[in-house]
Chain A
Amino acid sequence: MDKLLQVAHLKKVFPQKDRPDIVAVDDVSFSLQPGEKLAIIGESGSGKTTVARLIARLTDATEGKIILAGEDITRAGGAQLKKAYAKMQMVFQNPVDSFDPRCTLGDGISESLINHGRSRAQATAITQKLLAMCELGEEFARRYPHEVSGGQCQRAAIARALAIEPQLLILDEATSALDVTVQAEIISLLNRLQQERQMAYLFICHDIALVQDFCDRVLVMQAGRVVEAGTAEEVINNPRQAYTRTLLDSVL
């Protein structure tokens, strides 16, 4: 099967004045098959969010290559990037901040549909369907982000990410800001959607228990590098690296 996402020797350096540059991501390579669920775990500052932002092209890579569905998007811009975003969407850590406070959730969800050529009426109809799929009532389309709870807002954010039917969903700590019961609901929603749509997930997370239940493969990051990679079973039950063991011990 063709790889959906291929990341090769990715590097991101943040230049600093008067002190050594910060190497946030250093020589990270991995690939993702269609429909696969890959988790990136690691402590704070290990570079996992930067990897997600690099792949989503929200920041430019210093070195390396990002190939999405056979197309090199490392330096993509304009129309090529818009095309890439039709295949790849992201769900952010803080759901309320990820919606414009002056637009309704419905506007937020339908934005990508309208940008990709749907009429307003079509977009509204699809938005209703997406909200229902994410277990939100149709009245949520008219609500503002500050008028709903964190969990409801994250569902809306997932609905927005699904709108243009991407093949890859990047979830950057998408459940970290939510309480445990809501977290479980979001995970079961993601599981259901994955079965229905065969999407690939790139799951950035620091909750090991969640990763064990939810993901097929795991990458462990430390100080910008991938220190261990394998199936979720292998890495969690039989970690080879001392760092991974510390990480697992500190959680369990």
Chain B
Amino acid sequence: MSQAMAPTVRRQNVRQNHLQKKLYIWGGLALLLILAAFFSDYLCPYDPYVQDMSMTKAAPSAEHLLGTDRYGRDMLSRVIAGSKTSIYATLLLVSFITIFGSLVGIICAWTGKWLDTVLMRLSDMFLAFPGLVFALAVAAVLGGGVHNAIFALAAISWPKYARLARSQTLAQQAAVYMQAARMAGSSNFKLIRKHVIPNIAGPILVTAMLDIGTMMMELAGLSFLGLGAKPPVPEWGSMMSDTRNLLPTQPWVTLAPGFAIFISVMIFNLLGDTVRDYLDPKNRR
């Protein structure tokens, strides 16, 4: 019996260790990105706003690793400075929709009755619109700017979390331990804080992690269309938009922010995938 068990246990151990390693790698890289964004002011080799008309559209060189744009601004500095806007806007957006959506979902499931109906129909309404088109409309009405772009995307994205949190909370409410906790005299607030939130956090966290990549793309998309960050504030989407007609002649100017988006989205998506696998009980010993 024990001989037959041994390989399975070993396989599980290997898988668990492998997952842990992946978690450290992608988590480390994501942390690095966030830190880079935080300390971007110190990391830029040049001032990202200073124009140098003698150096416009310069090809990558030892002096300017990613070349310069049409105003002679150093592209590497602009990409690094752009990370601040892009990454912070994305994290702010994802944290807001995660917390707000989940709270709405928990409240709906817990109170039920008319409040549940009203809030869920409201979320249906938001879900019925084609997402990005609605965000475009909201951003257009509010005018450009990073904050309005965040608000527009938040308006279309919270219902997903509300639905997820609601269904998870309903499942928790039916659990036997919830009845036991109720009989232990716990208040509604304590039941939610101590039993509901810890038990529903896993799937919500995974959704949020996977959404970081999507939201980063959508924010960049809004900026690309001129409804996000306003020039000269460096932001990856608007940088690509500003320079897109240089793509055939000076491709580095467009490709640099493009690659920055690509790499960041990939890192956050892979981190999300790994967190999902890590939290999956089937991968647990």
Verify that A and B bind, or say they do not. yes
Q: Which residues of A contact B (CB under 8 A)?
A: 56, 58, 82, 85-86, 89-90, 92, 94, 97-103, 108, 111-112, 115-116, 157, 160, 164
B199–A100 CB distance below 8 A = yes
- 142-199 of chain B: CB within 8 A of chain A: 175-177, 179-187, 190, 194-195, 198-199
Known contacts A101-B199, A102-B199; decide if A111 and B184 are in contact (CB<8 Å).
yes
Whose C-beta in chain A lies nearest to the C-beta of B181? Answer: A111
Q: List 11 A-B contacts (CB under 8 A).
A: A56-B183, A58-B183, A85-B184, A90-B183, A99-B180, A111-B184, A111-B194, A112-B184, A115-B184, A116-B185, A160-B184
User: Given A97-B176, A102-B199: A115 and B183 within 8 A (CB)?
Assistant: no
Contact status A94-B183, CB under 8 Å: no
CB distance from B205 to the nearest CB of A (A): 14
Q: CA–CA, A98 to B182, complex, Å?
A: 11
A100 touching B183, Cβ below 8 Å: no
Q: In whole Å, how far is B192's beta carbon from the nearest beta carbon of chain A?
A: 13
Using A100-B199, A102-B198, A102-B199 as known contacts, say yes or no to A92 and B184 having CB atoms under 8 A apart: no
Bound complex: CA A164 to CA B185 (Å): 10
Measured CB to CB, the closest approach of chain B to A86, in angstroms, equals: 7
Give the Cβ gap from B148 to chain A, nearest Cβ, in Å.
39
Q: Flag if A115 contacts B177 (CB, 8 Å).
A: no
Q: Which residues of A contact B183 (CB under 8 A)?
A: 56, 58, 85, 89-90, 112
| Residue in A closest to B175 when the chains form the complex, CB atoms | A97
**CB–CB A98/B184 < 8 A:** no
Chain A min CB distance to B77 (Å): 46
Q: Which of B176, B177, B185 has the most CB of A within 10 A?
A: B185
Interface size on B, residues (CB 8 A): 17
A-B contact count (CB 8 A): 59
User: Can you name the residue of chain A whose Cβ is closest to the Cβ of B182?
Assistant: A58
Inter-chain contact A58/B185, CB cutoff 8 Å: no
Contact (Cβ within 8 A) B185 A82: yes
- Smallest beta-carbon distance B196→chain A, Å: 10
Are B186 and A115 touching (Cβ within 8 A)?
Answer: yes
Q: Considering residues A56, A85, A98, A164, which has the most beta carbons from chain B within 10 angstroms of its beta carbon?
A: A98
Alpha-carbon distance between A163 and B180 when the two chains are bound, in angstroms = 13
Q: Lowest 7 A-B CB distances belong to which pairs?
A: A112-B184, A115-B185, A97-B176, A111-B184, A82-B185, A100-B177, A102-B198
Contact A100 B195 (CB under 8 A): yes
Nearest-neighbor residue (CB-CB) of A113 within chain B: B184
A164 to B183, CA, bound (A): 11
Q: How far is the CA of A58 from the CA of B187 in the complex (A)?
A: 14
Inter-chain contact A111/B177, CB cutoff 8 Å? no
* Complex: A108 Cα to B195 Cα, angstroms: 11
A86 to B186, CA, bound (A): 12
Chain B 222-236 near chain A by CB (<8 Å), digits 1 or 0? 000000000000000
B176 x A98 contact (CB < 8 A): yes
Cβ contacts under 8 Å, B179 to chain A:
56, 58, 90, 92, 98
Return B72 CB to nearest CB of chain A, in Å: 57
Cα A115 to Cα B181 in complex, Å, equals 10
